[in-house]
Amino acid sequence: MSVAARYGDPDATLAVHNDVLNLQLAHRSVRRFGPREVTDDELTALVAAAQSAPTSSNLQAWSVVAVRDPQRKARLATLAGDQEFVRQAPLLLVWIADLGRARRLARRADREVAAADYLESTIIGFVDTALAAQNAVLAAASLGLGSVFVGAVRNNPEQVAAELGLPPHTVATFGLAVGSPDPTEHAGIKPRLPQGAVLHHERYDADAADAHISTYDGRLASYNTRFGLRNNWSSRVLDRLRGPESMAGRHRLRGTLERLGLPSW
């Protein structure tokens, strides 16, 4: 059933099944949480799962800040698009692309790490952070917890850095609100593009892939209507990417990274 929901296609099937696949296929963003706290033991398990993700050259170029204090969460929510679920979630994990640890290591060893100034190293920080966080999302689901990513922490990264006391050469990449899902939340498994739109064999075939978009537009429009949302996928993509005015301040991110000690040359 979750495969059909994932693609919005009642005929979609998978020939292989296991508990991990079922958790992944059933993933949805949770924006309304119940009253139960996320325990310290659960937080430890989430971070252990995150640290089990792949990491480029074992640099482990990320950190995470666990925020439970209601006042701090409220301030972060205001900075991150004023989203109420950030305030309501019992736990907010703010994931940090962290090249500061390597910088401090170099300072103690009286060594130079000039490669940390380049775009490649910034990308490593962001990629490692994303891989770790997605592991945590799956671990949370296995514990009966729901979550939702909060990209809007990049709306005001310098203020977020100040709120969290981040050291130089680090930046908050995104948040992750975590908690017990409220069963009354009106939400579902959002359909994704058909595999034919994203899976290529041997060489990229844009025409064949893009031929699936009109079908997906219809499926997502139907899903959106069920949950009081408007438009199809194509319209939402074009609206989101129409220009700097659609980026909630994130069009200034390159300059912000430089001020935070990540010049990304």
Q: How far apart are the first and last CA of the chain?
A: 47
Please state, in angstroms and rounded to a whole number, the distance separating the CA atoms of residues 87 and 81.
Answer: 11
Token representation of residue 12: 């979609």
Mean pLDDT of 26-54: 97
Range of the domain at 11: 1-27
Q: Tell me: do 171 and 73 sit in the same domain.
A: yes
**Helix H or strand E segment including 96:** strand 91-98
pLDDT at 55 over 60: yes
Residue 264 within any structural domain of the chain: no
Number of domains in the chain: 2
**170, 122 in Cβ contact below 8 A?**
no
Amino acid at 10: P
CATH code at position 58: 3.40.109.10
Same domain? For 19 and 98 the reply is no
> Based on the domain organization, do 5 and 65 belong to the same domain?
no
Which helix (H) or strand (E) element contains residue 124? helix 119-142
In what order do the strands lie in the sheet containing 62-67?
Answer: 62-67, 91-98, 170-179, 146-150
Reported as a pLDDT band with limits 50, 70 and 90, residue 211 is: very high
- Residue 24: burial class (beta carbons within 10 Å; 0-12, 13-18, 19+): middle
Are 104 and 61 within 8 A, CB to CB?
Answer: no
- 166 and 96 in a common domain: yes
Return d(Cα 110, Cα 27) in angstroms, integer. 46
Same domain, 7 and 127: no
Mean pLDDT taken over the chain: 96
Question: 19 pLDDT exceeds 80?
Answer: yes
- Report the pLDDT averaged over residues 127-132: 98
pLDDT band at 230; cut points 50, 70, 90:
confident
CA-nearest of 52, 48, 36, 89 to 67 is 89
Side chain identity, residue 61: A
- Listed in sequence order, the residues at least 6 apart from 121 whose beta carbon sits closer than 8 Å to its beta carbon are 61, 99, 115, 264
Distance between CA atoms of residues 129 and 5, nearest Å: 28
**CA-CA distances (angstroms) from residue 185 to 4, 137, 181, 182?**
21, 19, 8, 6
Average pLDDT over residues 75-101: 98
Q: How many CA atoms lie within 13 A of 164 on its CB side?
A: 30
Assess whether 148 and 107 both reside in one domain.
yes
CB 124 within 8 A of CB 67: no
Answer whether residue 248 is part of any domain: yes
CA pair distance 6, 188, nearest whole angstrom = 10
Residue owning tokens 């899976």: 199
pLDDT at 1: 56
Q: Which of 90, 96, 95, 93 is nearest to 39 (CA)?
A: 90
Mean pLDDT, residues 68-72: 98
The answer to whether residue 48 is domain-embedded is yes
pTM of the prediction?
A: 0.96
The CA-based dihedral angle spanning residues 225, 230, 236, 239, taken in that order and rounded to the nearest 10 degrees? 180
Q: How far apart are CA 100 and CA 245, in angstroms?
A: 31
Looking at the structure, tell me whether residues 48 and 127 fall in a common domain.
Answer: yes
pLDDT given for residue 142 in this prediction: 98
| 195-209: average pLDDT | 98
- Flag whether 208 is in a domain: no
